[in-house]
Amino acid sequence: MKRIICKNYDEVSLLGTDILAKQIKQNPKIKMVLATGSTPVGMYKKLVEMHKKNGLNFSGVRTFNLDEYYPIKKSNDQSYDFFMRDNLFSHINIKPENIHLPNGESADPEKECADYEKMLAQAGGVDIQVLGIGVNGHIGFNEPENELKLATHLTNLTKNTIEVNSRFFKNIKDVPTKALTMGMGTIMKAKSILLLISGENKAPVVKKLFSGVVTTDVPASFLNFHNDVTVILDERAASLL
């Protein structure tokens, strides 16, 4: 894994933006998987700025999202569908038909996962996958378990993840306890991976990520098997390295 340590969160966001913008310019029909959470927000804002000020063109870009709460309505302001539209999609010239997210409203989550996996395969693969990492080492909603699933699936969220995500909800009881998520095998199929990490609270898991050990207790550690991963982190996240 290529490791780039930046001074602060703003620099992490700026470098991530530069990498994605460069790839979009080189391949206007790029296929990318996008992540949610607080870490990529700064990058999305900078991409919007680049679109408005410098004409970065998203008209041919196809996006797929990493995960979605389940069950949750798209209109819910804590859904990842809402998040992506609010932070990125509604501010750029991406075509609606080129936006793909797992459907948290699906009546049949197993079929939704199978259909999402087929759609990714029919798209011919992903060029770049954007990821964040949880304090417990999860990527997407692939939580620490004895076994990790390869394909897109419905999963139970750990108590730790529910507690961390409760800051976005009025009450912890409002946090969904399940999610639809790409599996580890699906994530690893991306041609390249961009992992953004920020904050002192991520330092312990960053230390595990670069420990040279791969374990299902830290799902993100499996990224060590991928041949094109760029990890961009700030000094606080890298403080234990």
H or E element, residue 118: helix 109-122
DSSP 8-state symbol, 236:
T
Contact assessment for residue 172 and residue 163, using Cβ atoms and an 8 Å cutoff: yes
Per the annotation, the verdict on 136 as an active-site residue is yes
Sheet of strand 178-181, all strands in order from the earlier edge strand to the far edge: 67-70, 178-181, 153-156
Catalytic residue, from 68, 112, 143, 234: name it.
Answer: 143
CA–CA distances in Å: residue 26 to residues 20, 127, 131, 148: 10, 12, 21, 34
Which residue has tokens 């730790």?
A: 160
Per the annotation, the verdict on 143 as an active-site residue is yes
What is the C-alpha to C-alpha distance for residues 16 and 39, in angstroms, rounded to an integer?
A: 11
Catalytic residue, from 76, 87, 103, 136: name it.
Answer: 136
Catalytic residue, from 51, 65, 67, 87: name it.
Answer: 67
H or E element, residue 69: strand 67-70
Residues found in the chain: 241
What is the C-alpha to C-alpha distance for residues 238 and 137, in angstroms, rounded to an integer?
A: 15
Active site residues: 67, 136, 138, 143
